[in-house]
Amino acid sequence: MRSALLLPAAAFRMGSFTSKPQVASSAGQDDSVQPPVGASHDEILEWVRGHLVKLPPQLQRHYRHTPGPSLSSLHTSTAPPAATFRLMQWNVLAQALGAHADNFVMCPKEALCWDTRRFRILEEILVHQPDIVCLQEVDHFSLLERVLGSQGYEGFFVPKPDSPCIYVPENSGPDGCALFYRTAKFKLIEQHSRILEVWRVQSNQVALLVTLRERQSQREFTVLTTHLKAKQGALLASLRNEQGKDLLEFLEQHRGGRPAVLCGDLNAEPSEPVYATLTQAPSLALSSAYATVNNGEEPPYSTWKIRGNGESKHNIDYVLYTSEGSSVLQVLGSLDHPSEEALGPGRAPSLAYPSDHFSLVCDFALPELSDDAQEERNHRSR
């Protein structure tokens, strides 16, 4: 497994957003957690759930197929079937923030205990069996790397330059973005990370990008994940919009005309400028996967929590994809968010769900190769 810890030097960087002193890291909390050697998917999931036997069952969620053409319409009788992949996008909630800073007043304390919450996070990932996993607020990367590595994933991690986690007790280091992919299904072509800029000044938010080649079809595509600046207000919305512009530039710099997915916690409702910046860019046609599946409408929420200052229900997490031209992807379906009834009055996180954000799970089909690309693939296989 390889991890990317890239913090390039810069002449201009925004200063810390807090005057609090840093707190010594308590890294190593997961050293004793060792997955069974050689375990299959079912065996590793059984091992994970063995640590959750005293907790409620996992929240039930429903899968929704995209209206319109089926997968079979994507290829002719003489062409190979469309290559498909499943992607998970999820802000997992940094343990240091959830337990010591976020003030989830309706969440039982035991639901935020890392000894069990880490297995709830692993369960959510493993049960949906994504081919690509894009995560934010990761502050226990080594655990994810070890367990997912046992199941054939390779992962990368890039921390925030000035993570809020390092200012709270019992932290395990900075939080950041992580991305994992199945090595049996994909070959890594390139990987990059970036500290996002606002008016040419580095901010405290990061992005992680990979280009992958699907091994059977030889089709390539790019995946970019990020976590934009949090909190509400006109100034912060402007900051997010500038970060969105920088994301597009970063993506266009590396995708080389390939199909692409841009996903993450954007901390912005669809009414914010950054949503339009990303979905209406003249040079890159990006659409929302969840809106596509839901007849053009975004879900009513992707996070629902109750803090000391009240209830917060927003749709701020997205999976965007190239939807026009030769780099078009097709969304086959997505996983609905938990219902209000399933969440209960305490919302999230809870004993049944480990984060205040819900995972987004989407299935995609890659476009067919052009004749030139087909010839290049055949040349490589000779």
Q: Give the tens place of pLDDT for each residue, 190-210.
A: 999 999 999 999 999 999 999
Asked if omega into 338 is within 30° of 0 (cis), the reply is no
Residue range 176-184: mean pLDDT, rounded: 98
Kindly report the average pLDDT of the chain as a whole number. Answer: 90
Q: Look at residue 374 in the predicted model and tell me its pLDDT.
A: 57
Task: Look at residues 292, 379, 365, 348 and name the one whose alpha carbon lies nearest to residue 98.
Answer: 348
Asked whether 243 and 251 are in contact (CB, 8 A), the reply is no
* CA separation for the pair 134, 88 (Å, rounded): 6
Position 22 confidence tier, pLDDT thresholds 50, 70, 90: confident
Position 9 confidence tier, pLDDT thresholds 50, 70, 90: very low
Residue range 129-142: mean pLDDT, rounded: 98
Position 19 confidence tier, pLDDT thresholds 50, 70, 90: low
Please report how many Cα atoms fall inside a 13 Å half-sphere around the Cα of residue 123, on the Cβ side.
24
Taking CA atoms, 41 is separated from 106, 108, 353, in Å, by: 34, 30, 21
303-307 and 310-314 as β-strands: parallel, antiparallel, unpaired? antiparallel
Tell me the helix, strand and coil percentages in the chain, rounded to 5: 25, 30, 45
Report the run of H or E that residue 239 belongs to, with start and end. Answer: helix 234-255
Report the run of H or E that residue 201 belongs to, with start and end. Answer: strand 201-214
Q: Look at residue 170 in the predicted model and tell me its pLDDT.
A: 87
Q: Look at residue 325 in the predicted model and tell me its pLDDT.
A: 83
In percent, the amount of the chain with pLDDT more than 90 equals: 81
How much is the CA Rg of the chain, to the nearest whole Å?
20
Convert the pLDDT of each residue in 316-359 to its tens digit: 999 999 998 888 999 999 999 999 999 999 999 999 999 999 99
Higher pLDDT, 377 or 99: 99
Residue 382 has pLDDT above 90, yes or no: no
What is residue 98's three-state secondary structure?
Answer: helix
Q: Which residues contact 125 (CB under 8 A, 6 or more apart)?
A: 88, 90, 133, 144, 148, 359
Convert the pLDDT of each residue in 43-55 to its tens digit: 999 999 999 999 9
Position 102 confidence tier, pLDDT thresholds 50, 70, 90: very high
Give alpha helix (H) positions in 69-212.
95-100, 114-128, 141-149
Q: Look at residue 78 in the predicted model and tell me its pLDDT.
A: 44
